[in-house]
Amino acid sequence: MNTREYFNQCFKAEVPKFVRVLKAVPKDQSAYRPHPRSMSAGDLAWLLASELHDACELVDHGQVSYVQKPAPALAESVSAYEKNAAALKRRLAKVKDAGWKKKAAFLVDGKVAWKTSLGDMLWGFLFDGIHHRGQLSTYLRPMGAKVPSIYGPSADDPGM
């Protein structure tokens, strides 16, 4: 198995974990943030959904321009995450080894902030999403929600 195939396997395994955490956020708690400098729960949910849309742009065009947009209602972010995850899975199925190695660029304010291969950038997006999913999962109990099983049982969920 090469890194492209391994990425596809990892991404497919991570998507249900993301969805469990996103669906655990209470609908009336999207404004929750543990500290004034922390992102709100709603902003984190939207970031996770938006990153997958950006990943699709990378696969399609070899670059993406990051544009922060206001977060919609939490249910819309969850729906967008599921839609964008499915769209990325379809695109990944068509990426061959040569495409995986092509250069990709991440632009901020029209300037290249990160340039590497498509594969490296997609791994970076996945790791960033996992990081922010962890951040969001730490918000759940203080919001009165239960932490779902992610990589095994939690104190609230014995797992599958």
d(Cα 105, Cα 64) in Å, to the nearest integer?
Answer: 7
Burial level of 85, CB count in 10 A (0-12/13-18/19+)?
A: buried
Other CB atoms within 10 A of residue 124 CB? 16
CA distance 38 to 86: 29
Going from the N-terminus, what domains does the chain have, and what CATH number goes with each? Answer: 3-143 (1.20.120.450)
Q: What is the mean pLDDT of each run of 10 residues along the chain (160 residues)?
A: 97 98 97 97 98 98 94 98 98 97 97 98 98 98 97 90
First to last CA, the chain: 27
Decide if 75 contacts 27 (C-beta within 8 A): yes
CA angle 149, 154, 157 (to 5 degrees): 65
Task: Write down the pLDDT at residue 159.
Answer: 81
Q: What is the β-pairing status of strands 103-108 and 111-117?
A: antiparallel
39 vs 43: CA distance, rounded Å: 6
